[in-house]
Structure 1
């Protein structure tokens, strides 16, 4: 249910206020909106009268947001952005059936994107928009239907569905391996190691899994798999990477196993979505397809297995 009409200012009033708040000038806002300066001033005054709160301090020929006005401007700007995005999405897909999914950058580029064609072919009326996010977010404040992320992070008001485990292998460039004469897991203690900041204990767990004692580990730190992959291909060090995300490099020979060794499981990928999205037919179809694709990937790659459903409890 919408709030009473008195709490819903017209779009024209809000647009005038947002433009003036963003530019810090009634004149600049008028030029942007194609209105006269006096028209913008009247709209701002009308909005202040409707809300019963002063939004600007007038000082000679300048305006300055009040503390309340500054907070209101931030929220209105986000609301207008969401309305704009919804309108653009509707124009792009006038028949409806669009969903927006957030993914980790390399997962989206290397795993999801190559498979999306199969989903779209089977569901011609559905459009899938993909955005990249590195960190969890709040679905209540973001117009996104679901997120594919690593780890069972806290997602307010969201359902978590386990997709597949992440199995990591130690890789490097062929030249790097030959140049440093790498043969056994212990040999990696004497070479530069490339770390991912979201998997800070991955190398420690890999050495433990392969029976190698160590005092401390050092090396370069990156925040994305894509950067680590390029660093390893360039011969900057040995990296732990999910096998299913570097199939291209393993196939073309730009990366290879650094040494024979036991892969490690570092966690699971999950689909997070608000509970009300399950009743939306396009999303429900996408979710069913995604789970099946993830299961197939688990079955194809050595070292990957279905995550324990209890991990989501």
Structure 2
């Protein structure tokens, strides 16, 4: 009996197993799979068509725009370029008259796995004034996904990190998915969730240690983080920071360094979004930072979702 005939079943079983594993990996990381199209929810953060027309008319022709700032009756954005030793980072100081201008968008207007576009492409298709990458929900099979008042995924993730909830009034709150449900969050007024983390600043205090890190990532990395400054007059004031990294010109930030920078701006809550090659800041049709996907290659990585400011 030949070797191949003798071991035919073993070879066949091994081939099936390899094929199944390969398909599983391709399905998880490569093959696009749409689950649903984006729908518009009727929430406190969603305006009527007449309100939207008024907002667009108010901004049209009245905005003052420079290479690093935008100002109209509802939105104020100022972007500065800073450095922290050997790292360059970009700070967007954002003030809004209403939480309706802080939004999220999904790649190709579709929820699913491996549905991706670059931050700039998603931002452009949504007429965003300003945008950064979101939490890349599509890289995971679990974790609550609520975007613009719609629940897209309600399976909780098992994680040591907290999620970030953004409420219809623009306020932030971090939470653990095991302590609540997606429907309970929606019922309480949550319009957007981000499941990446960790929380960087909580109640004005740094919430990470110098040894904390995301998964197997390097300590110094490109980073994206969002924070809120709770003003006494109740106005909406946000700080969004993106750092360059993984190049000779800019090594990147640790989580603790990002938390320190956020705290220095007076934020009460700050949250770490997806980083690495995903970290991208877009403003007025231009990419502000230097997204690094591979060593010294400056190029945007396609992502699942963005956070943006716009009408």
TM norm. shorter chain > 0.5: no
- Higher RCO (C-alpha under 8 Å, 6+ residues apart): 2
Q: TM-score range by the shorter chain?
A: under 0.3
* Rg (Cα) greater in structure: 1
Q: TM-score, normalized by length of structure 2?
A: 0.26
Q: TM-score, normalized by length of structure 1?
A: 0.26
